[in-house]
Amino acid sequence: MFNKEEIAASYQQIQDGICRGLEEADGKAFFEEERWTREGGGGGRTRIMQNGNVIERGGVNFSAVHGKLPEKIKAAFGVEEDDFFATGVSIVIHPKNPWVPIIHMNIRYFELNEQTKWFGGGIDLTPHYVIPTDASFFHKKLKEVCDQFHPDFYVRFKKWADDYFFIKHRNETRGIGGIFYDRLHTENTSLSYEQLFEFSKMIGESFVSIYAELIKRNKDRAFAPHQKEWQLIRRSRYVEFNLVYDSGTKFGLETNGRIESILMSLPPQANWVYNYQPSPGSEEDKTLRLLKKGIDWVEKE
């Protein structure tokens, strides 16, 4: 039988492995670590990489926090108890080259008591330029992981990601999606908590091989100034989503989380251009036309 301490220890090991893998893929920069404690209970390890060969800024964070839930969070969760424990790993990578995509991953565990506990997380890709072969590769790898645990997981979690990573005020998806899931427990999955824990770990352990391949494919591609400008515009959409809609950002702020760790998902630079309209038929226009829900990327290659 697993327990919350075992989950937190495993997540720390996953953080360590991902940092080693990203340092190898970048070839220049290294992560700097800052350990922190939360006033209400618990703490974490924030690791940031900056100004690498490939990665302009990347964060790989671990946290394990506990304490009292604010009334607003209790109401949102529909629970009466307020003693909580939450642990997880959260990653956002912003690359230098516009052809290398932004990637985000999160695996997490939340517990109020033996009856109220669940896993959440996911992994999604936000290309500045959508490359269909890369999108297909990414989704196929996620499907391979999901299929090892449940035949419905990929289809179910892919739709969940499409719906979640949607910028309503822009009427576009943040990127090409991936998988997203929340509040997974024994009753809504037919899996044991031990199996859900293994699923969570496998998502985390798949990260390096997936992203390292996407880096390898695109890190040396040449780009023009207008493509760099487009990257900064797409980054601004990422900022908008995280500050307006992202539930993890909201949870962190409302539970007195560490602000630097919460906002490490933001890029070092983003641009907002008034009423920007790409030229019809351009690569930028093609990308915008693919930022929509319901695309079957597994079969689209």
Question: Helix and strand tally (H, E) in the chain?
Answer: 11, 9
Chain centroid, CA 252 distance in Å:
15
Q: Tell me: the pLDDT tens digits for 218-269?
A: 999 999 999 999 999 999 999 999 999 988 888 788 777 778 878 888 999 9
In the chain, alpha helices (H): 4-26, 71-77, 132-147, 153-164, 186-189, 193-218, 225-244, 247-254, 259-262, 283-289, 297-300
Q: 104, 128, 150, 169: which is the annotated catalytic residue?
A: 104
Q: CA 135, CA 178: separation in Å to the nearest integer?
A: 9
Mean pLDDT in residue range 145-159: 97
CA distance 243 to 283: 27
Residue pLDDT, tens place only, 170-186 = 999 999 999 999 999 99
Q: What band does 159 get if pLDDT is binned at 50, 70 and 90?
A: very high
- Residues 21-39, mean pLDDT to the nearest whole number: 95
pLDDT tens digits for 97-137? 999 999 999 999 999 888 889 999 999 999 999 999 999 99
Nearest to 278, CA basis, from 234, 219, 238: 234
pLDDT band at 1 (very low <50, low <70, confident <90, very high): low
Least confident of 141-150, 203-212, 247-256: 247-256
Q: Tokens 């690359």 belong to which residue?
A: 95
First to last CA, the chain: 42
**Which two tokens mark 280?**
């019809």
The CA distance from 149 to 167, in Å, is: 30
**Residue 296 pLDDT > 70:** yes
- pLDDT for 205 beyond 60: yes
Q: Which two tokens stand for residue 99?
A: 């052809």
pLDDT score, position 265? 87
The model carries a pTM of 0.94
| pLDDT in the model for residue 248 | 80
Cα gap 145→123, rounded to integer Å: 12
| Residue 100 amino acid letter | V
CB 167 within 8 A of CB 245: yes
Q: What is the per-residue pLDDT for 68?
A: 85
Domains along the chain with CATH numbers = 4-300 (3.40.1500.10)
Classify residue 51 by its DSSP letter.
S
Q: Which sign does the torsion angle of CA 196, 91, 183, 6 carry?
A: positive
Average pLDDT, the chain: 93
| pLDDT of residue 72 exceeding 80 | no
3-state DSSP helix/strand/coil percent for the chain, to nearest 5? Answer: 45, 25, 30
Predicted pLDDT at 218: 98
pLDDT band, residue 11 (cuts 50/70/90): very high
Does 104 qualify as catalytic in the annotation? yes
Give dist(CA 171, CA 240) in Å, integer. Answer: 13
pLDDT band at 301 (very low <50, low <70, confident <90, very high): low
If you search the block for the tokens 């645990």, which residue do you land on?
Answer: 149
Q: Give yes or no for residue 75 having a pLDDT over 80.
A: no
Find the helix or strand (DSSP H, E) in which 177 lies: strand 177-184
